[in-house]
Amino acid sequence: MSKGKLAIYWAASCGGCEIAVLAIDEKILKVAELFDIVFWPCAADGKVRDVEKLPDGSIDVCLFNGGIRTSEQEYMAQLLRRKSKVLVSFGSCASEGCIPGLSNVNTKREIFDAVYKQGEMTHCENPQDLRPQPHTKVPEGTLYLPVFYDTLRTLDQTVEVDYSLPGCPPEAENIWAALTAIIENKLPPKGAVIGRNTTVCDECPRKRNEKKIKKFYRTWQIQPDEETCLLEQGLVCCGVATRAGCKALCPQVNSPCIGCHGANDGVADFGARLMSALASVIDSNDPEEIDRIIHEGIPDPVGTFYRFSLARSLLRRSKKPNGVEVEVHRPAAAAR
Amino acid sequence: MAEKVGIYVCHCGSNIAGTVDCEEVARWAGQNIRDVAVARDYKFMCSSLGQQLIEDDIKKEGLTRVVVAACSPHLHEKTFRRACQNAGLNPYLCHMTNVREHVSWVNNDKKAGTEKVKSLVSAAAERVKHQQPLEPFFVKVNPATLVIGGGIAGLQATLELADAGYPVYLVEREPSIGGHMAQFDKTFPTLDCSACILTPKMSEVGQHENVTMFTYSELEEVSGSVGSFKVKIRKRARYVDYDKCTGCGICVEKCPRKVVDDDFEAGLGYRKAIYTPFPQAVPRVPVIDTANCTYFQSGKCKVCSKVCPTDAVRYDQQDEIVELEVGNIVLATGWKLFDCKRLPNYGFGRLANVYTNLEFERLCNAAGPTNGKIVLRDGKTEPQRVAIIHCVGSRDSRYNSFCSAVCCMAAMKFGHLVLEKTNAEVYSFYIDMRPNQKDYEEFYQRLLEEGMHFVRGRVAEVTDAARRPEEQGKLIVQYEDTLLGEQKRLPVDMVILMGAMEPQADAKEMGLKCGISCSMAGWFTERHPKLDPVATMTDGVFVAGVCQGPKDIPAAVAQGAAAAARISGMITNGKVMIEPIVASIDEESCSGCRVCNNMCPYNAIEFDETKNVSRVITAMCKGCGTCVAACPCDAISGAHFKNEQIYAEIEGILWDAQPAAAATEGGR
């Protein structure tokens, strides 16, 4: 059997997914045995122009992590899609948008204001209020920067994706299981999420009862007992709605699930599902009391229910205020 | 394989075709909706010829899905499902979209209406392709029936069922059965003695071997569904041992505490602190009114206990909850009288000799506080002139816009009784006379002959402020005679207000308990106003009598009997079909999080500890969808309302919309 060709790429994400690949420990040697790594900028030198020269479909597997925020990322997604037989949306950012996707509640202008204006967020010195420009003329010629889009999109909103691997980041054993499945050609039907189709509760050893919640707590407010379901103790544990596969890592250490594995098959909107479930177990019939329970216990609904999935949700982003210019995505190649 | 969809657009005569271009919709659907094999419009789809069209197309064209755009599915869904079944197509592969109530009846713009019907047909066609064949199942019908309300309608239903040999539980809020009819003296138009025709039925119910009565009791809770309801009845403490009491009445006689009887005697008479509401009460077992009982208020007295020959008085009795299982429920909860004080210009409660209709019923009742003598509040003066004001709180947009249906006839009955028992003149002030049932018009003619005066016009005011000498010390009725076109004043001695029948104060709450709704006015909503007047939208729950809308005794009795007949039929059949539209839980996907466990309003979800999954008890599921929405991981799906069916429906209805991404992302 000839060696397969593997590419790993990193777009709008924190880089944790890249490290997660290495967390498979010594098995990485097995990967190297089975695959030629043709492109992995984080770990080995490689040039985009070399990828461009490869014949279409010549990469067997591409693990792509990160969402699509800039024209460059968009171009790379399209390029790697074209060059790869199997494109895997790797981790939460590529699959659902994850934390970078949360900035979809803001416009590009607001994001740039937060970053480049002298403000409390970044403390950057920028007295001339300069902003990154896609084209900048300097005496030596024109400099190019990727175009920053208003909205972060997931990989599958940008190009066709064959599989996705959930997690922030995916757990080492799930990565190995996915790679094994690819090597052994035991892949699920195209489009599938590689993982189990049940939720974290299934793997969580805590004792569960009928749920009746009178008050939600934030994690710093209580020391939960280690036996009982965290949700029943008033912590917003997303485990009820989150795809299993992590062996209930967070609840095992007395911390509520934050939902990084995303939703089960068939759920169109993780946040809406979770909200509807939590709304169902609030133990009150008095509208004012219900309002109070929600407002006091869940001060950041988007960050709670859509922490990972906003870009992938039915909402996708907040409504843009009137008068905000909508960034027209130009063909990626022309933007470079 | 692509589905073959048949689309049928009904004209409903001109009901739909009047404001919708049905031909155009059918033509458009045939050309523009994917997978449509046949698209037709037809004058009356529900006719046998219309149904035949569907059956023929299924057989000849091999249709695999059917869409009928017509009236409400409440009316004809069964019809079209049956047509499909006749032609060998699973009935749940047929979908109705309501283009009459939702389009033609609420719209005059033919162009807009036609466009909306196109969208609805497109939605239905996309949805129906995702529908799945379902098989209905059957549950056994418990032969016992719960009747709520011991008025004449409830009594009739009870007796019909009990006589047919089926057990009946009769729940009545008051200490005795009988309802409002027990308060009346005579009944129109025959002038039968009300008690003489009612009390035999009461005692028959009281002694019937198939009837278990719960008086002084209320419905607490209903669960389950048609065929097998579970109900909880609160038996309020009457402080008298039901089994030991012989109904001798010595306790009532010896009780030293007399209180005004605001219930049965409408405030005109007295009762004791321990009492039965009236002499012919069924059961004869009295109750103690603790708010007025000397013992309960001060700890002393106990006279009733001392005189009781069977030692039946129990001061420590508590409310008791009784659980029953029944197959069907009849609501016959009746009505309450409009509070005539809400019309201060008529002076009730301020001017002594202004009476309500219920007070007057007691006044002229031989068993009433005056032994049937029609006298003024002073207890001795016979009136010389009596005015009867119709439509007090009815046909009045400020209070109730409905007609209370019985007041015209009751007013004439009062007129007759006044003319018979006194030498007084009687004036009736009416808006319209509505004696519209059998022998009612004849009764009106009789009263005209007896000399009752009928004045067409609404009374503006009843006052004691005299302007002329002859008005001194009288009540003056200020009115407009609309036939003469004149403002007039009439001095009288007594005024009777024909107060409206109103829904019980807790009708909405009662409806919620039983899963049925109320009209805007508060009357229980029947399944169909003409063709199914005693059934409701909840299978196994029936309504009878005034709780469904104002009506007279014959109509209430007919409804009681009709409800009983419907129930008898179900009991005889022994089983009832349950729609297969139920929720189910995929055990593979269910993580046992238990979010759904206490959601189900019908208690149809159980948790399996060993397998760590939740499960729907199909026979108890009503397909409401609460758990489907609550399930955080899509492990629960509702048959016939699956996600893909609803998404397809939404996509269908938006057939002409721009893709959302293009609108917000500048072309992407």
Residues of A in contact with B599 (CB under 8 A): 280
- By C-alpha distance, the chain A residue nearest B605 is A210
Contact by Cβ (8 Å): B275, B289: yes
- Per-residue pLDDT tens for A219-248? 999 999 999 999 999 999 999 999 999 999
**One domain, residues B344 and B469:** yes
Report phi then psi at A2, rounded to 5: -80, 155
**One domain, residues A71 and A207:** no
User: For position A333, what pLDDT does the model report?
Assistant: 42
Residue B449 lies in a domain: yes
Residues of B in contact with A268 (CB under 8 A): 643, 647
**One domain, residues B463 and B415:** yes
The residue type of A248 is A
Residue B313 lies in a domain: yes
- Per-residue pLDDT tens for B60-71? 999 999 999 999
Contact B595 A277 (CB under 8 A): yes
**One domain, residues A86 and A42:** yes
User: For position B665, what pLDDT does the model report?
Assistant: 40
Helix B73-86, helix B48-61: angle, nearest 10: 40
**One domain, residues A41 and A173:** yes
Minimum mean pLDDT among A113-117, B85-89, B507-511: which range?
A113-117
Contact by Cβ (8 Å): B166, B145: yes
Residue B346 lies in a domain: yes
- How far is A116 from chain B, CA to nearest CA, in Å? 25
Per-residue pLDDT band for B533 (boundaries 50, 70, 90) equals: very high
Higher pLDDT, B369 or A328: B369
Residue A111 lies in a domain: no
**One domain, residues B497 and B616:** no
Identify the domain boundary among B486, B502, B518.
B502
Residues in contact with B14: Cβ distance below 8 Å, sequence separation at least 6, in sequence order: none
Mutate to test the interface with A, among B512, B588, B593, B626 (most CBs of A within 10 A): B593
Q: Which two tokens stand for residue B285?
A: 């077992």
Contact A199 B593 (CB under 8 A): yes
The residue type of B582 is V
In this prediction, residues B45-73 reach a mean pLDDT of 96
Residue B289 lies in a domain: yes
Burial of A66 (0-12, 13-18, 19+ CB in 10 A): buried
Per-residue pLDDT band for A121 (boundaries 50, 70, 90) equals: low
- How far is A268 from chain B, CA to nearest CA, in Å? 9
Residue B472 lies in a domain: yes
User: For position A336, what pLDDT does the model report?
Assistant: 37
Contact B630 A280 (CB under 8 A): yes
Residues of A in contact with B607 (CB under 8 A): 210
Residue A45 lies in a domain: yes
Is residue A334 over pLDDT 60?
Answer: no
- How far is B131 from chain A, CA to nearest CA, in Å? 17
Is residue A332 over pLDDT 50?
Answer: no
For residue B595, what is the domain's CATH number? Answer: 3.30.70.20
Residue A302 lies in a domain: yes
The candidate with the shortest Cα–Cα distance to B123, out of B144, B99, B107, is B99
HEC sequence for B111-174: HHHHHHHHHHHHHHHHHHHHCCCCCCEEEECCCCEEEECCCHHHHHHHHHHHHCCCCEEEECCC
Give the gyration radius of chain B's Cα atoms. Answer: 31
Contact B593 A201 (CB under 8 A): yes
Identify the domain boundary among B289, B318, B347.
B318
A:B CB pairs within 8 Å: 93
Higher pLDDT, B562 or A266: B562
Percentage above 70 pLDDT, chain B: 98
Residues of B in contact with A240 (CB under 8 A): 591, 593, 595, 632-633
Residue A108 lies in a domain: no
Residue A253 lies in a domain: yes
- How far is A199 from chain B, CA to nearest CA, in Å? 6
Residue B631 lies in a domain: yes
Count of domains in chain B? 4
- By C-alpha distance, the chain A residue nearest B626 is A280
B132 vs A: CB within 8 A? no
Nearest to A273 among B598, B632, B667 (CB): B632
Question: Could you give the CA distance from residue A323 to residue B558 in angstroms, rounded to a whole number?
Answer: 67
User: For position A323, what pLDDT does the model report?
Assistant: 59
User: For position A122, what pLDDT does the model report?
Assistant: 67
**One domain, residues B313 and B363:** no
Count of domains in chain A? 2
CA dihedral of B196, B198, B199, B202, whole degrees rounded to 10: 170
In this prediction, residues B222-234 reach a mean pLDDT of 92
User: For position B598, what pLDDT does the model report?
Assistant: 86
Per-residue pLDDT band for A330 (boundaries 50, 70, 90) equals: very low
Contact B634 A211 (CB under 8 A): no
- How far is B665 from chain A, CA to nearest CA, in Å? 7
- By C-alpha distance, the chain B residue nearest A276 is B630
Is residue B667 over pLDDT 60?
Answer: no
User: For position B42, what pLDDT does the model report?
Assistant: 96
User: For position B496, what pLDDT does the model report?
Assistant: 98
Per-residue pLDDT band for A32 (boundaries 50, 70, 90) equals: confident
User: For position A141, what pLDDT does the model report?
Assistant: 94
**One domain, residues A20 and A166:** yes
User: For position B610, what pLDDT does the model report?
Assistant: 92
CA distances from A142 to A146, A164, A327, B330 (A): 13, 38, 21, 85
DSSP per residue over B318-375, as a string?
Answer: --EEEEEEESEEEE---EEE--GGG-GGG-TTTSTTEEEHHHHHHHT-TTSTTTT---
- Domain around A300: 200-312
Residues of B in contact with A197 (CB under 8 A): 588-589
Q: 């721009």: which residue's tokens?
A: B658
- How far is A42 from chain B, CA to nearest CA, in Å? 30
Residue A191 lies in a domain: no
- How far is A265 from chain B, CA to nearest CA, in Å? 8
- Per-residue pLDDT tens for B393-403? 999 999 999 99
What is the average pLDDT score of chain B?
Answer: 94
Burial of B106 (0-12, 13-18, 19+ CB in 10 A): exposed
**One domain, residues A16 and A160:** yes
Residue A164 lies in a domain: yes
Q: Which residues of A touch B (CB under 8 A)?
A: 151, 197-202, 208-212, 229, 231, 239-241, 243-244, 263-268, 273-274, 276-277, 280-281, 317, 320, 326-329
**One domain, residues B297 and B399:** no
- How far is A326 from chain B, CA to nearest CA, in Å? 7
Is residue A331 over pLDDT 90?
Answer: no
**One domain, residues A227 and A280:** yes
Q: What ipTM, to 2 d.p.? A: 0.84
Residues of A in contact with B635 (CB under 8 A): 198, 264
Q: Which two tokens stand for residue B418?
A: 């006044």
Contact A208 B594 (CB under 8 A): yes
- How far is A229 from chain B, CA to nearest CA, in Å? 9
User: For position A325, what pLDDT does the model report?
Assistant: 54
**One domain, residues B361 and B468:** yes
Mutate to test the interface with A, among B130, B585, B591, B654 (most CBs of A within 10 A): B591
User: For position A128, what pLDDT does the model report?
Assistant: 83
Residue A89 lies in a domain: yes
Report phi then psi at B354, rounded to 5: -95, 125
Question: Could you give the CA distance from residue A114 to residue B60 in angstroms, rounded to a whole number?
Answer: 68
Question: Would you tell me how many other CB atoms lie within 10 Å of the CB of residue A254?
Answer: 14
Residues of A in contact with B668 (CB under 8 A): 329
Contact A280 B590 (CB under 8 A): no
B136 vs A: CB within 8 A? no
B594 vs A: CB within 8 A? yes
- Domain around B489: 335-502
- How far is B603 from chain A, CA to nearest CA, in Å? 13
B636 vs A: CB within 8 A? no
Residues of A in contact with B610 (CB under 8 A): none
HEC sequence for chain A: CCCEEEEEEECECCCHHHHHHHCCCCHHHHHHHHEEEEECCCCCCCCHHHHHHCCCCCEEEEEEECEEEEHHHHHHHHHHHHHEEEEEEEHHHHHHCHHHHHHHHCCHHHHHHHHHCCCCCCCCCCCCCCCCCCEEEECCEEEECCCEEEEEECHHHCCCCCEEECCCCCCHHHHHHHHHHHHCCCCCCCCCECCCCCEHHHHCCCECCCCCECCCECCCCCCCCCCECCCCCCECCHHHCCECCCCCHHHHCCCCCCCCCCCCCCCCCHHHHHHHHHHHHECCCCHHHHHHHHHHHCCCHHHHHCCCCHHHCCCCCCCCCCCCCCCCCCCHHHHC
User: For position B668, what pLDDT does the model report?
Assistant: 32
Residues in contact with B142: Cβ distance below 8 Å, sequence separation at least 6, in sequence order: B227, B228, B229, B325, B326, B327
**One domain, residues B281 and B372:** no
Mutate to test the interface with B, among A71, A210, A233 (most CBs of B within 10 A): A210
For residue B84, what is the domain's CATH number? Answer: 3.40.50
**One domain, residues B303 and B273:** yes
**One domain, residues B296 and B376:** no
**One domain, residues B465 and B598:** no
Mutate to test the interface with B, among A69, A147, A158, A208 (most CBs of B within 10 A): A208
B225 vs A: CB within 8 A? no
Long-range Cβ contacts of B19-27 (<8 Å, 24+ apart): B19/B103, B19/B104, B19/B107, B19/B108, B19/B109, B19/B110, B19/B113, B20/B99, B20/B103, B20/B104, B20/B110, B20/B113, B20/B114, B20/B117, B21/B110, B21/B114, B22/B117, B24/B114, B25/B69, B25/B114, B25/B117, B25/B118, B25/B121
Q: 């002139």: which residue's tokens?
A: B385
**One domain, residues A15 and A40:** yes
User: What residues are paired with B212 via a beta bridge?
Assistant: B169
**One domain, residues A217 and A299:** yes
Minimum mean pLDDT among A126-130, A254-258, B141-145: which range?
A126-130
For residue A75, what is the domain's CATH number? Answer: 3.40.50.700
User: For position A182, what pLDDT does the model report?
Assistant: 83
Identify the domain boundary among B502, B519, B543.
B502
Is residue B196 over pLDDT 90?
Answer: yes
**One domain, residues B303 and B339:** no
Contact by Cβ (8 Å): A84, A63: no
- By C-alpha distance, the chain B residue nearest A319 is B664
**One domain, residues A268 and A305:** yes
Residues of B in contact with A199 (CB under 8 A): 591, 593, 632-633
**One domain, residues B371 and B284:** no
- How far is B7 from chain A, CA to nearest CA, in Å? 29
CA distances from B518 to B172, B524, B537, B543 (A): 21, 4, 11, 11
Identify the H or E element spanning B213: strand B211-214
What is the average pLDDT score of chain A?
Answer: 90
Per-residue pLDDT band for B601 (boundaries 50, 70, 90) equals: confident
* Peptide bond between residue B503 and the one before it cis (omega within 30 degrees of 0): no
User: For position B579, what pLDDT does the model report?
Assistant: 86
Is beta strand A68-70 parallel, antiparallel or unpaired with respect to A35-39?
unpaired
Residue B306 lies in a domain: yes
Question: Would you tell me how many other CB atoms lie within 10 Å of the CB of residue B656?
Answer: 10
**One domain, residues A35 and A176:** yes
User: For position A240, what pLDDT does the model report?
Assistant: 95
**One domain, residues A168 and A78:** yes
Is residue A327 over pLDDT 90?
Answer: no
User: For position A119, what pLDDT does the model report?
Assistant: 65
